[in-house]
Amino acid sequence: MDTAAAATAGGSHHTLAIGLFVGVVVVTLGITAWAGRRSRAAEDFYAGGRDFSPLQNGFAISGDYMSAASFLGVTGLIALYGYDGLLYTIGFLVAWLVVLMLVAELVRNCGRYTIGDVLAMRMRQRPVRAASGISSIVVTLFYLLAQMVGAGSLVSLLLGLDSGQARGWTIVGVGALMVVYVTVGGMKATTWIQIVKCVLLLSGTLLLCVLVVVRFHGDLGSLARSAASGSGFGDAYLSPGLKYGGSATNRLDFVSLGIALVLGTGGLPHILARFYTVPTARAARRSAMWAIGLVGSFYLMTIVLGLGASALVGASTIRSSNEAGNTAVPLLSEVLGGGSGSNGGAVLFALTSAVAFATILAVVAGLTLASSASFAHDLWARAFRHQDEEQPTEHQEVVVARIAAVVIGVVAIVLSLFAQKLNVAFLVGIAFAVAASANLPALLFNLFWRRFTTRGATWAIYGGLVPALVLVVFSPVVSGSPAAIFPGVDFHWFPLQNPGIVSIPCGFLFGWLGTVTSGSSADPDGYAELEVRALTGAGAV
Amino acid sequence: MRHREPETPPEAQAAEAPAGDQDGRRGGAAGFDWWAAPASRPRAVAARTEAVQPQQAQPQQAQPEQGQTQEAEPQQAEVVPGQPGPGRAGPERVARTAPEPGVAGPAAPVDTEVARGVAEGVAEPAPRAAEVYRHVQAGEEFREVRREYRRFVFPACAAFLAWYLVYIVAAVTLPGVMDRQIAGPFTVAWALGLLQFASTFLITWLYARHARDRRDRLALGLRWETQDRLR
Structure confidence by residue, pLDDT tens digits, A234-285: 888 888 888 777 788 888 988 998 999 999 999 999 999 999 999 999 999 9
Specify the higher pLDDT residue, A388 or A137: A137
Is the pLDDT at A131 greater than 60, yes or no? yes
Instruction: Give the helix/strand (H/E) hosting B181.
Output: strand B181-183
ipTM given for this complex: 0.91
Task: Say whether residue B181 is in contact with chain A using an 8 A CB cutoff.
Answer: no
Q: Which of B157, B183, B226 sits opposite A536 (nearest CB)?
A: B226
- pLDDT on residue A344: 85
Q: Which residues of B touch A519 (CB under 8 A)?
A: 111
Q: Which of B103, B120, B169 sits opposite A124 (nearest CB)?
A: B120
Q: Which domain holds residue A440?
A: 2-382+411-536
Q: Determine the 3-state secondary structure of A486 from DSSP.
A: strand
Q: Which residues of A touch B227 (CB under 8 A)?
A: 538-539
Q: Give a yes or no: residue A226 inside a domain.
A: yes
DSSP secondary structure, B13-52, as one string:
HHT-----HHHHHHTTSSS--GGG--TTSSTTHHHHHHHS
pLDDT-derived band of residue A8, with 50, 70 and 90 as boundaries? Answer: very low
Tell me which chain A residue has its CA closest to the CA of residue B169: A255
Is the pLDDT at A330 greater than 90, yes or no? no
Asked if A65 and A261 touch (Cβ cutoff 8 Å), the reply is: no
Distance between A121 CA and the closest CA of chain B, angstroms: 10
Contact state of A528 with B130 under an 8 Å Cβ cutoff: yes
pLDDT digits (tens, 9 = 90+) for A170-228: 888 888 988 999 888 889 999 999 999 999 999 999 999 999 999 999 888 899 999 98
3-state secondary structure A507-521: HHHHHHHHHHCCCCC
Average pLDDT of chain A, as a whole number: 87
- pLDDT on residue A486: 76
Tell me which chain A residue has its CA closest to the CA of residue B138: A528
pLDDT digits (tens, 9 = 90+) for A442-481: 999 999 999 999 999 999 999 999 999 999 889 887 777 7
pLDDT-derived band of residue A503, with 50, 70 and 90 as boundaries? Answer: very high
Q: Which of B104, B113, B223 sits opposite A454 (nearest CB)?
A: B113
Across A29-43, A381-395, B88-102, B215-229, least confident range: B88-102
Contact state of A532 with B136 under an 8 Å Cβ cutoff: yes
- pLDDT on residue A136: 94
Q: Give a yes or no: residue A171 inside a domain.
A: yes
Q: Determine the 3-state secondary structure of B194 from DSSP.
A: helix
Distance between A207 CA and the closest CA of chain B, angstroms: 22
**Cα-based angle A306, A309, A315 (whole degrees, multiple of 5):** 105
- pLDDT on residue A425: 67
Specify the higher pLDDT residue, B1 or A531: A531
Is the pLDDT at A112 greater than 90, yes or no? no
| DSSP bridge pairs for A486 | A479
Could you give the CA distance from residue A197 to residue A63 in angstroms, rounded to a whole number? 6
Half-sphere exposure of B63 (CA within 13 A, CB side): 19
Could you give the CA distance from residue A148 to residue B144 in angstroms, rounded to a whole number? 48
Residues 6+ apart with CB under 8 A from A404: A371, A372, A375, A376, A380
Task: Say whether residue B111 is in contact with chain A using an 8 A CB cutoff.
Answer: yes
Could you give the CA distance from residue A271 to residue A439 in angstroms, rounded to a whole number? 12
Q: Give a yes or no: residue A394 inside a domain.
A: no
Average pLDDT over residues A134-153: 87
Give which of A231, A235, A536, A541 to mutate to test B binding, by max B Cβ within 10 Å. A536
Is the pLDDT at A512 greater than 50, yes or no? yes
Q: Determine the 3-state secondary structure of B186 from DSSP.
A: strand
Domain containing residue A227: CATH number: 1.20.1730.10
Q: Which residues of chain B have pLDDT under 70?
A: 1-127
Asked if A435 and A498 touch (Cβ cutoff 8 Å), the reply is: no
- pLDDT on residue A423: 66
Is the pLDDT at A85 greater than 50, yes or no? yes
Task: Say whether residue B113 is in contact with chain A using an 8 A CB cutoff.
Answer: yes
Specify the higher pLDDT residue, A87 or A501: A501
Specify the higher pLDDT residue, A26 or B107: A26
Cα B130 off chain centre by: 18
